[in-house]
Chain A
Amino acid sequence: MTGKAQAQTVLRLSHITKHFGALTANDDVSFELKRGEVIALLGENGAGKTTLMNILFGQYTADAGEVEVFGQTLPPGNPRAALDAGVGMVHQHFTLAGNLTVWENIVLGTQALGALRLDAKAAKAKIAALSKRFHLAVDPESKVGRLSVGERQRVEILKALYREARILILDEPTAVLTPQESDALFATLREAVGQGLSVVFISHKLHEVMAISDRTVVLRHGKLVAERATSETSREELAALMVDGEVSAPKIEAMPPGPALMRLAGVSTKGEGRAPGLHAVDLTLHAGQITGLAGVSGNGQKALSDLISGLANPVSGRFEIAGEPVTDWSPRRALARKIGRIPEDRHHTGTIADFDLTENAVLETYARDFARHGWMDWKGARAQAEGLIGTYDVRCPGPDTRIRLLSGGNMQKLILGRVLETAPRIILANQPVRGLDIGAVNYVHGRLAEAREKGAAVLLISEDLDEIMKLSDVIHVISEGRLSPGFARGTMRADELGQWMAGEGFAQPTEAAHAS
């Protein structure tokens, strides 16, 4: 896909700047996309990639700068204009209506609202033709709610193609796909580019960027820091450009595993909507060990985390903590059994946004430690919050600050402190560093390693395989609710784990095998 140096410029972003309150999400970003080219927009979480694309697509309005498509300046804040100009966007979170059919989702908004009849026949014919041309197999009559994630993504791409998009923007498209599905997506994109489309591919995964793109644009803290022809750069260079400073994983010294603190034997749980439950999972967490859970997102991580944090009960199997079977499980019981929980979503599950730091600091412990006969001990609670702020380096004006005003890193430090202060025996850390800056990442990792040394059993759930491999003593892979055997540190390469993540190697065939 090289040798198109003379090709026409189809998209030009000039000096895009966007602020959200005090945060600068995009800072004077400019680049161009040529016809038949794939540009990778590379950057860490929070680097401003999604914001930039939302501005391009008219969902946000830039504070400064402009977007030009095929030589025409787009009016700001108007998705319709972007669509009409030939821009199609596949969002990270799909924008599909679950209880409408595939063809309804695709046709939505393409026929005049004043029209007296919905022309379903012509629409379905066109969809069938597009499916065939771009190898995007999907049944136009089925309800979107019943499709697999991979199929939904195909619907999203079909939506763009149906509108005759000439420029496709894909925001982290592989985050929800298995490696095989990703390969199929790449094949589709190559097909599209071969037919004259141009693609902006947003990602933070280096190997994908290297595999699919012609050029790479690197964003860091909202600024465009580098632009490279992909063939002339390397993974190492891109990694260095993307990351500001080093992720310095704490040293994990080999330690003999301590006693088993939690044991799951053949545990199954109910799935929730589209999220799978657990299928006969065997897992043992040992004192003084970090157990890493790798897997593509949406494969049962939530089910396992819900089970351990007390939100869900097992349907079958044995669930023991410190040798005692667990019954009548709830978050409060989990806390009583000394399980510390760092939830996946710190904004909505871990904290209450409009509560102040004091209130958030005692959210889990108020009943036991900061109340007597139903009366709150606010003095004690405040002292506790002040202690956490000091010990865990939470940067904030004070304990009376509403927690919504804190940065993600500081919010996570407070949650971490809240967990560690109770001296937990078992720590569930679900995506503990997602979206944090490097400093906070290193801090959180360091504290988790420290807890391990003190003899806690840590379960680290992450979609970042590097993070898992650096920190874990034992690694399990989860796929469609099934758990792989544990692999000791250093015994598996990333690509071998990747195969497990794709669902290979599991003993029993899965019920929910993808039709794809």
Chain B
Amino acid sequence: MRLEPIADPSLARRLLPPVLAIAGSFLVASLLALIAGGNPLAVFGAIIKGAVGSKFALLETLNRATPLIFTGLAVAVAFRAKLWNIGAEAQLYAGAVVTAVLGTGVLQWPAALLLPTIAILSMLAGALLLLGPALLKTRLGVDEVVTTLLLNFIFLLFVSYLLEGPLKDPMGMGWPKSPRLIEEARLPRIVEGLRLHWGFVLALIAAVALWIINTRTTLGFEMRAVGQNAEAARFAGMPVTGVILKTALLSGGLAALAGFSEVSGLKGSLTLDISPGYGYTGIVVAMLALLHPLGVVAAALFVAAIFVGANAMSRALDVPTYLADIMLASALLMMVLAILLTKFRVVRD
């Protein structure tokens, strides 16, 4: 048995992978739900109801999707240039730290000035955090997967130190959390009374912006070229190293916006648990989206719905909420397999 390339796959064939991957992950989840003693139909019913069954549920899903759009975009832009950034988690926290530091009254500016400043400096922090591994990759050839992964642990310990030391809220009753942000540093709600903040809109804007960058700018062209064939890109005169570094800055910045949005929009202060692995889940989101920025939005909504729904389901039925994580992990694996099958067909020898 071997694989034979398909010259020009049809559109249907190219759009098939996400569908197959999602279907496959549902199948895996059904089996596991059965093992745990749950009826799969009831489980999925509860998940859907929990995710979109009420106004509250829907808003919760949108809120949960917000950081996932950012980390998904961060991973998508990096992976497209074959920069394997697995460190979105740390970059997210970098943005969160900057937000917590600058948003607690150090700068007494009006919101219109303060929020953009914090957002930009957050991005800068995340960008710089990925620049290190990117430089190690381009200069010394050190695999960025391992360095970005290790940086996640290092940075989380750093955040833990901050929260128990310099950033500790004196009124926090001993909890490792930062003081609450001042009102000017909070992303307002889109509609008063509804628990959804402007971070979501910012995420949508980021997705569209990245889409435009990818398709309309020289940087987008260069990032795609470097990802597809760095040798040809270098021969054609593209600044390959520079493109990789720019990609790293963009990717780290996008991931950091997730931290900014969570602290400034949703939580109002920094704790060690603002991200239950959004950085890692961003990989699943990006892969499900076939690395397309607009696809990231759809994938993030889907993934958020699974998480929110699974939480509700787990409360209602005796099936652990980790079912959601399994679904996403298996969706990721099936996705890469399904992508392969759009480009190749299996030929029997």
User: Which residues does A use to contact B, with CB under 8 Å?
Assistant: 21, 61, 76-77, 309-311, 330-332, 334-335, 341, 343, 348-355, 359, 363-364, 366-367, 371, 374-376, 378, 402, 404-405
Residue pair A21, B7 in contact (C-beta under 8 Å): yes
CB < 8 Å: which of A76, A332, A378 contacts B237? A332
Residue pair B8, A366 in contact (C-beta under 8 Å): no
CB < 8 Å: which of B7, B8, B218 contacts A376? B218
Contacts of B219 in A (CB 8 A): 374
Contacts of A330 in B (CB 8 A): 237
Residue pair B349, A351 in contact (C-beta under 8 Å): no
B120 at the interface (CB under 8 A from A): no
A343: min CB distance to chain B, Å? 6
B229 at the interface (CB under 8 A from A): yes
Identity of the chain B residue whose Cβ is nearest the Cβ of A381 in the assembled complex: B221
B123: min CB distance to chain A, Å? 19
Contacts of A21 in B (CB 8 A): 4-5, 7
B228 at the interface (CB under 8 A from A): yes
Contacts of B36 in A (CB 8 A): none
CB < 8 Å: which of B7, B218, B234 contacts A371? B218
Identity of the chain A residue whose Cβ is nearest the Cβ of B218 in the assembled complex: A371
Residue pair B216, A352 in contact (C-beta under 8 Å): no
Residue pair A366, B228 in contact (C-beta under 8 Å): no
Residue pair B216, A405 in contact (C-beta under 8 Å): no
Assuming A331-B234, A363-B236, is B229 touching A348 (CB within 8 A)?
Answer: yes
Residue pair B237, A61 in contact (C-beta under 8 Å): no
CB < 8 Å: which of B4, B218, B232 contacts A350? B232
The 9 closest A-B pairs by CB, nearest first: A332-B237, A331-B237, A363-B236, A61-B349, A77-B349, A352-B229, A371-B218, A364-B236, A349-B235
Residue pair B228, A376 in contact (C-beta under 8 Å): no
A and B contact pairs by CB, cutoff 8 A, 28 listed: A21-B5, A21-B7, A76-B349, A309-B235, A331-B237, A332-B237, A348-B229, A349-B231, A350-B235, A351-B232, A352-B228, A352-B233, A353-B228, A354-B228, A355-B225, A363-B225, A363-B236, A364-B236, A364-B237, A367-B218, A375-B216, A375-B217, A375-B218, A376-B216, A376-B218, A376-B221, A378-B216, A405-B8
Identity of the chain A residue whose Cβ is nearest the Cβ of B348 in the assembled complex: A61
A405 CA to B6 CA, complexed, in Å? 10
Contacts of B239 in A (CB 8 A): 332
Identity of the chain B residue whose Cβ is nearest the Cβ of A341 in the assembled complex: B235
Interface size of B by Cβ–Cβ distance < 8 Å? 23
Contacts of A363 in B (CB 8 A): 225, 232-233, 236
Main secondary structure of the interface of B (DSSP, over half): helix
Contacts of B7 in A (CB 8 A): 21, 404-405
CB < 8 Å: which of B5, B221, B229 contacts A366? B221
A495 CA to B220 CA, complexed, in Å? 53
Identity of the chain A residue whose Cβ is nearest the Cβ of B212 in the assembled complex: A375
Residue pair A348, B221 in contact (C-beta under 8 Å): no
Residue pair B221, A311 in contact (C-beta under 8 Å): no
A404 CA to B343 CA, complexed, in Å? 13
Identity of the chain A residue whose Cβ is nearest the Cβ of B347 in the assembled complex: A61
Assuming A311-B235, A331-B236, A332-B237, is B229 touching A376 (CB within 8 A)?
Answer: no
Residue pair A311, B218 in contact (C-beta under 8 Å): no
Contacts of B4 in A (CB 8 A): 21
Q: A309-B235, A348-B231, A363-B236 given. 10 additional CB < 8 A pairs? A: A21-B7, A76-B349, A311-B234, A332-B239, A335-B237, A348-B229, A352-B225, A355-B224, A355-B225, A367-B218
Assuming A332-B237, A364-B236, A367-B218, is B231 touching A402 (CB within 8 A)?
Answer: no
A55: min CB distance to chain B, Å? 11
Contacts of A77 in B (CB 8 A): 349
Assuming A77-B349, A353-B228, A402-B8, is B236 touching A376 (CB within 8 A)?
Answer: no
Identity of the chain B residue whose Cβ is nearest the Cβ of A306 in the assembled complex: B235
Contacts of A310 in B (CB 8 A): 237
B64: min CB distance to chain A, Å? 34
Residue pair B229, A353 in contact (C-beta under 8 Å): yes
Contacts of B218 in A (CB 8 A): 366-367, 371, 374-376
Assuming A76-B349, A348-B229, A349-B231, is B237 touching A359 (CB within 8 A)?
Answer: no
Contacts of A332 in B (CB 8 A): 237, 239
B119: min CB distance to chain A, Å? 22
A311 CA to B237 CA, complexed, in Å? 9
A404 CA to B232 CA, complexed, in Å? 14
Identity of the chain A residue whose Cβ is nearest the Cβ of B230 in the assembled complex: A352
B209: min CB distance to chain A, Å? 13
A340: min CB distance to chain B, Å? 12
Contacts of B225 in A (CB 8 A): 352, 355, 359, 363
A360 CA to B23 CA, complexed, in Å? 37
Contacts of A367 in B (CB 8 A): 218, 237
A353 CA to B234 CA, complexed, in Å? 15
A95 CA to B66 CA, complexed, in Å? 51
A354 CA to B233 CA, complexed, in Å? 13
A350: min CB distance to chain B, Å? 7
A364 CA to B218 CA, complexed, in Å? 12
Contacts of B5 in A (CB 8 A): 21
A360 CA to B216 CA, complexed, in Å? 16
A352 CA to B231 CA, complexed, in Å? 9
A405 CA to B9 CA, complexed, in Å? 12
Contacts of B234 in A (CB 8 A): 311, 331
Residue-wise, chain B 196-231 has the 8 Å CB interface mask toward A (1 for contact) of 000000000000000000001111110011001101
Identity of the chain B residue whose Cβ is nearest the Cβ of A78 in the assembled complex: B349
Contacts of B236 in A (CB 8 A): 331, 363-364
Identity of the chain A residue whose Cβ is nearest the Cβ of B6 in the assembled complex: A21
Identity of the chain A residue whose Cβ is nearest the Cβ of B232 in the assembled complex: A352
A402 CA to B5 CA, complexed, in Å? 14
Contacts of B217 in A (CB 8 A): 374-376
Identity of the chain A residue whose Cβ is nearest the Cβ of B226 in the assembled complex: A352
Identity of the chain A residue whose Cβ is nearest the Cβ of B236 in the assembled complex: A363
Contacts of B224 in A (CB 8 A): 355
A400: min CB distance to chain B, Å? 11
Residue among A61, A330, A331, A378 with the highest chain B CB neighbour number at 10 A: A331
B40: min CB distance to chain A, Å? 39
Residue among A61, A311, A348, A366 with the highest chain B CB neighbour number at 10 A: A366
Residue-wise, chain B 54-75 has the 8 Å CB interface mask toward A (1 for contact) of 0000000000000000000000
Contacts of A351 in B (CB 8 A): 232
A352 CA to B222 CA, complexed, in Å? 12
A502 CA to B239 CA, complexed, in Å? 39
Contacts of B232 in A (CB 8 A): 348-352, 363
Identity of the chain B residue whose Cβ is nearest the Cβ of A402 in the assembled complex: B8
A334 CA to B236 CA, complexed, in Å? 10
Residue-wise, chain B 1-31 has the 8 Å CB interface mask toward A (1 for contact) of 0001101100000000000000000000000
A355 CA to B232 CA, complexed, in Å? 11
A367 CA to B236 CA, complexed, in Å? 11
A75 CA to B195 CA, complexed, in Å? 68
Residue-wise, chain B 250-272 has the 8 Å CB interface mask toward A (1 for contact) of 00000000000000000000000
Q: Which of B322-349 contact A (CB under 8 A)?
A: 349
A334 CA to B239 CA, complexed, in Å? 13
A77 CA to B219 CA, complexed, in Å? 45
Contacts of A349 in B (CB 8 A): 231-232, 235
Contacts of A359 in B (CB 8 A): 221, 225
A161 CA to B217 CA, complexed, in Å? 58
A299 CA to B141 CA, complexed, in Å? 28
Contacts of A402 in B (CB 8 A): 8
Contacts of A334 in B (CB 8 A): 237
Identity of the chain A residue whose Cβ is nearest the Cβ of B7 in the assembled complex: A405
Identity of the chain A residue whose Cβ is nearest the Cβ of B8 in the assembled complex: A405
B309: min CB distance to chain A, Å? 37
A359 CA to B5 CA, complexed, in Å? 22
A343 CA to B221 CA, complexed, in Å? 21
Contacts of A341 in B (CB 8 A): 235
